[in-house]
Amino acid sequence: MEMVKEMPTKLPIDLDLTTNCEPDSPIPPNRVDTSQRLQSLREIMVQKNLQAYYVPLDEEGRRSWISGFSGSNGDAIITLDQAACWTDGRYFLQAADQLDCNWQLMRMGQDGVPTYATWILGDANLSEGSRVGANPELLGAKTWLELSASLSSRSIELVSVPQDLIDQIWTPENGRPPFKARDIVVHPMEFAGKPFEEKIDDLRNKLVEKGANAMVVSELDEIAWLLNLRGEGSSTVEGLFHSPLFQSIALVTPEDIRLWIHSEKITPDLLSHLQGPDCDTQKATTCVGLEDITNWQSSLAQWASEQTDLKVLVTKPSMYLSGASYAVYHTLPTDSVQFEASPILDAKAMKNSAEAQGMVNAHIRDAFAVCEFAAFLEDQILNQPQEIWDEIRAADKLSQLRAQQNLSKGDSFTTISASGSNAAVIHYSPVEETNALINDSAIYLLDSGGQYLDGTTDITRTFFYGSDVPSEIKEMYTRVLMGAIDLARVTVPYRTQDSSVDVLTRQHLFHMGLDFRHGTGHGIGAYLSVHEGPTRIGMGWSDDNGRLQDAMFFSDEPGYYKDGEYGIRLESIVRVVKRDDFDSVYGQFIGLETITLVPFEPKLIDFALMTPDQIQWLNSYNDKIRQTILPRFEATGNQLVVDWINLRTQRVSPTVSHWIQDWKNEL
């Protein structure tokens, strides 16, 4: 959140902030009427003397419910006469459909679009003395403090509303699902690779380096990784991503570890894991005390009041995460708080040997499922015309095949199964109102992933089942593939800034004046979150960007989207590996190894556009698929998949490249 200096009182009059709400605009089938919801919220705002209410994105879906917009990015602010929702380029089309005409759509990153603070201080028309409410448990501490400082410049107060206003109007009576928390299970050592006691020791050493004597660990994936625990079962605290996390907050000091969870989830196995046989002795500093999460604030405050010379590391915002909440900050003595990037970030991102091997193994099994699905669906579309396939049915079929793989724990996120123009909606998810047929005349984009006990996967492939491929689609698919290959082939110095390699994936679109509105890559966890910091491959730079280091895993996923017509995205997971095949006076270099093993579509590739090196990389990649994936289906006698893989992994001569042909012509 930027500090505001000079604020316009009004937005530019030509700035398109609203959704498709002209008199002759068709009403999208997935649009939600939020009129009554907003009226109910505003009635409570008046009672609480609030002139605006800030609703951040949260995993229970409060922002989604009040706005009707279900995307995984962006916050909402409601005043007594306006409502605005911000989101990034992945969701511009989706938000324009889902937000009704009560809302202004703020397209983040576009020229003239205000920040949250800018809008509150300008176009929201709030007067001096106005009060803006927010739930302190849902808004990050750094974000809260910066927003509060900005608003105070106009004598507008940001006030804490511990009893969330959305909770008062979104109830079981009007469709809110009853609260359900995940079970908590021990993550097996064969997959975790390192005892949690050693991770705690490493963390304590990092705290000493940073001059802190305690840390509040508030990010759920960090708690799960640090203590070798995972959440299992369904939960109402989930959102679009199906991560094996559980509601919790933790405290680590040199002598103590405390974990606040739902007490009904404490099991004998959990106690045995966290409280070993030495826990009754005073020397047992790696024993974890368990307390009920409903009491975390009072318990943390009591602990803090008993300390002297307290310096508590509280996490600032990082890539994909908002940092510790304002509730955490407010619970501690202000002078004890030390905002820092979490020392767990890099430790978690740089997989140990067991985690790294698990990621590789999980992607092999995932490729079994995706290849079998792709071969099956193509056969159904082309040879079984009596079978009707739509986006939802296809996504369900893929989930079933993933569930059959060894160590499967379900999908890692809601599948993006998008046919035709739906594929132009970058993070589209099919629902009954938008569910489109899959046929041989339109692109089909499939972005999906699986959770396995040994790893998390995320893959996108784009298909076209007809024989007559439009030349535009073929060229754009090829340019997207060329960008993906160029990133996969990169060699750079160790600890290169991750954002610096992004241009490799976009250059072949830039040459045509084209681009795509999302990052090229995100970090990925080991049976954790499908989006994991600190890695983000994308244009621009911020303090949150990470540096590429050995055994990090991230996605390589360029795309191209033509609004209202089609979308193309190709996504594979890559592993950062040290390059030890040459000596350099410039230090250690690193390269990338692609661990996703699902073929691309050769009939969508114009090989003449590619360079000889790109074609050679593709040949090597296809050889690896033949060596690793094909034998599984040969052994089981699944000829349909064998033929599907063989057709897509034929070697291509680099001489078809226009670079070679142009050189020959010159000779």
Structural domain boundaries, residue 257: 183-348
Same domain, 483 and 359: yes
Same domain, 433 and 393: yes
Confidence of residue 26 (pLDDT cuts 50, 70, 90): confident
pLDDT value of position 283: 60
CATH code assigned at 478: 3.90.230.10
Q: Which residue has the higher pLDDT, 73 or 327?
A: 327
- Tell me the pLDDT of the chain averaged across its residues: 92
pLDDT in tens, 138-186: 999 999 999 999 999 999 999 999 999 999 999 999 889 988 899 999 9
Same domain, 246 and 302: yes
Q: Which residue has the higher pLDDT, 242 or 349?
A: 349
pLDDT in tens, 189-227: 999 999 999 999 999 999 999 999 999 999 999 999 999
State phi, psi for 282 to the nearest 5 degrees: -70, -15
Same domain, 375 and 519: yes
For residues 41-46, average pLDDT: 97
Task: Please state the domain count of the chain.
Answer: 3
Query: In the chain, pLDDT over 70 holds for what percent of residues?
Result: 95
Residues 333, 656: Cα–Cα separation, whole Å: 68
- What secondary structure, in 3-state letters, does 379-424 show? HHHHHCCCCCCEHHHHHHHHHHHHHCCCCEEEECECCEEEEHHHHH
CATH code assigned at 313: 3.40.350.10
pLDDT value of position 30: 87
Residues 620, 646: Cα–Cα separation, whole Å: 14
Q: Is 446:579 a contact under the CB 8 Å cutoff? A: no
pLDDT value of position 8: 31
- Burial of residue 200 (CB within 10 Å: 0-12, 13-18, 19+) is middle
Same domain, 629 and 508: yes
Same domain, 422 and 474: yes
pLDDT value of position 3: 29
pLDDT value of position 607: 97
Angle between helices 639-648 and 353-383 (to 10 degrees): 100
Structural domain contains residue 664: no
State phi, psi for 336 to the nearest 5 degrees: -95, -10
pLDDT value of position 21: 80
Structural domain contains residue 22: no
Residues 405, 426: Cα–Cα separation, whole Å: 28
Last residue of a domain, one of 142, 174, 206: 174
Same domain, 203 and 319: yes
For residues 72-78, average pLDDT: 92
Cα 554 to Cα 39, 89, 590: the distances in Å are 43, 20, 14
Structural domain contains residue 1: no
pLDDT value of position 59: 86
pLDDT value of position 141: 95
State phi, psi for 324 to the nearest 5 degrees: -60, 145
Same domain, 388 and 519: yes
pLDDT of 538 strictly over 70: yes
pLDDT in tens, 270-306: 999 999 887 876 567 889 999 999 999 999 999 999 9
Structural domain contains residue 241: yes
For residues 305-320, average pLDDT: 92
pLDDT of 568 strictly over 50: yes
Tokens representing residue 175 in the block: 């469709």
Same domain, 332 and 411: no
For residues 617-634, average pLDDT: 98
pLDDT of 371 strictly over 60: yes
Confidence of residue 582 (pLDDT cuts 50, 70, 90): confident
Residues 114, 107: Cα–Cα separation, whole Å: 9
Same domain, 599 and 621: yes
Q: Is 29:114 a contact under the CB 8 Å cutoff? A: no
pLDDT value of position 2: 26
Select from 340, 258, 326, 329 the least CA-distant residue to 292. 258
Same domain, 398 and 430: yes
Last residue of a domain, one of 330, 348, 366: 348
Last residue of a domain, one of 348, 378, 398: 348
Total-model pTM = 0.93
Structural domain contains residue 3: no
**Alpha helices of 217-333 — where are they, by DSSP H?**
220-226, 268-274, 296-305, 326-331
pLDDT value of position 234: 80
DSSP string, 194-225: S-HHHHHHHHHHHHHHTT-SEEEE--HHHHHH
pLDDT of 502 strictly over 90: yes
pLDDT of 228 strictly over 60: yes
pLDDT value of position 236: 67
For residues 357-363, average pLDDT: 98
pLDDT of 315 strictly over 50: yes
Q: Which residue has the higher pLDDT, 554 or 23?
A: 554
Stretch among 32-41, 166-175, 449-458, 538-547 having the lowest mean pLDDT: 538-547
pLDDT of 561 strictly over 70: yes
How wide is the angle at C-alpha 635 spanned by C-alphas 631 and 636, nearest 5°? 120
Same domain, 217 and 314: yes
